[in-house]
Amino acid sequence: MTLAERLEIYLTRHFGAPTAIEGLSRIPGGASRETYRFDAIVGGEVRPLILRRDPTGSLIDTDRSLEYLAFQSFHGRAPVPEPIVLDTEGAELERPFFIMTRVDGGAAASPFTVQPYHEHAQAIGEAFFAALGAIAATDPAGLPLATATQAPAPGDCWRVALDHWAKVIDTDEQHPQPIVRAAIRRLRRAPPPAATAVRVVHGDYRTGNFLHDGQGKILAILDWEMVHLGDPLEDLAWAIDPLWGHYDEGRVAGMIPRAEALAIWTKASGLPVDPEALAWWELFSAVKGQAIWTSAAREYRQGGFKDPILAISGWYTARRHDQILADKLMRLEGLS
């Protein structure tokens, strides 16, 4: 039975009406879930949808329930697709999955390209950092996400985050990595101030994880698979990590100057940006990245070398983050 046929059986039961599937096609988006676009024809009505299914191996081991709850939490508050159904058992589709509405007419930039936003970089940058600020402004109490996530104490946000990703490196490392080890030790020696607020952290808010219309408008913020509660500076620091800069040293995320991005975020979030705290989270971002790429390298090997996304993540991006880490460590000591 094909995937389309299985999906028809599942959605016929879910919608309580005969459902046909048309145009089922896997798309490259999302490295931690298999992502498919399709039309569901339900009672003659065409419903454009996206299927996100757990892979057999992935870049990041994440909880699809939290990702689904994040869509539920922010649909209507931010440009986020409407979630339709989550099945943690997998049913006819064999592996856990969820389905959400499809946003057509948008594109996601590859982080490995130069100037992907062209003359709309300024407008995209303003919208990008304002949307992140709006997420950080949202009180998590009362959100569907709050039912399934633990809020760390403000003073513990850094430790929870660092412990998590340091453990990932401990578990998945196949070759010793002295640079990231030095960064982890430095982060522990000099922790940041307590978070000014504990908020929803998207976890992977960056260029490439949103759809834009090519005219300066953000259509959908995607890839919430690493969502959690924590210090909102974690997201801000990740968004401006040099890895996501499209090789543009004058602008963050290949969009707008750093100072402008921080000012937009501050205005939208209502939260201050403590330079000392942000510097800590920026070094942390490179550690987190290196942890993700370390897992990718392990998954690439364990999966029989068949996923080239895991290859480029575990190889090219890992080496770029080593460069970024080394540069940050030297800058913090006034050596460059």
Partner 1 sequence: MTPSLPDILVGNFLCIADPPPPESAGEFMAGKVGVVALLSLLAAQEAERGLSARVWENAALRAVLAEAASTYGAVFAEAGEETDTDFTLSALDRANAALRRSLIALHEAVEAAGDTARDHAILRLYGKMADARRLDMPPLPGR
Contact criterion met (CB below 8 Å) for 317 and 60:
no
Candidates 233, 67, 266; CA nearest to 161 is 233
- Pattern 189-228, partner 1, x by CB under 8 A: x---------------------------------------
Residue 326 touches partner 1, criterion: CB under 8 A: yes
Of the candidate spans 156-164, 231-239, 272-280, 297-305, the one that interacts with partner 1 by CB under 8 A turns out to be 297-305
- Contacts with 164 (C-beta within 8 Å, 6 or more apart), sequence order: none
DSSP string covering 238-295 = HHT-GGGSTT-TTSBTTTB-HHHHHHHHHHHH-----HHHHHHHHHHHHHHHHHHHHH
> Which of 112, 122, 160, 213 is the binder for partner 1 (CB under 8 A)?
112
Kindly identify the residues of this chain, within the stretch 138-177, that bind partner 1 according to CB under 8 A: 174-177
> Which of 11, 103, 109, 200 is the binder for partner 1 (CB under 8 A)?
109
Question: What tokens does 335 get?
Answer: 């050596």
State the minimum distance, in angstroms, from the CB of residue 139 to partner 1: 36
Tell me, what DSSP letter sits at residue 28? S
For residue 151, how many other CB atoms are within 10 A of its CB? Answer: 16
Total residues in contact with partner 1, by rule CB under 8 A: 59
Of the candidate spans 58-66, 71-79, 234-242, 323-331, the one that interacts with partner 1 by CB under 8 A turns out to be 323-331
Distance, in Å, from the CA atom of 201 to the CA atom of 219, rounded to the nearest integer, reads: 20
In the complex, which residues of this chain contact partner 1 (CB under 8 A)?
2-4, 24-28, 36, 107, 109-110, 112-118, 174-179, 181-182, 185, 189, 246-247, 297-298, 300-301, 304-309, 311-312, 314-316, 318-320, 322-323, 325-327, 329-330, 333, 335-336
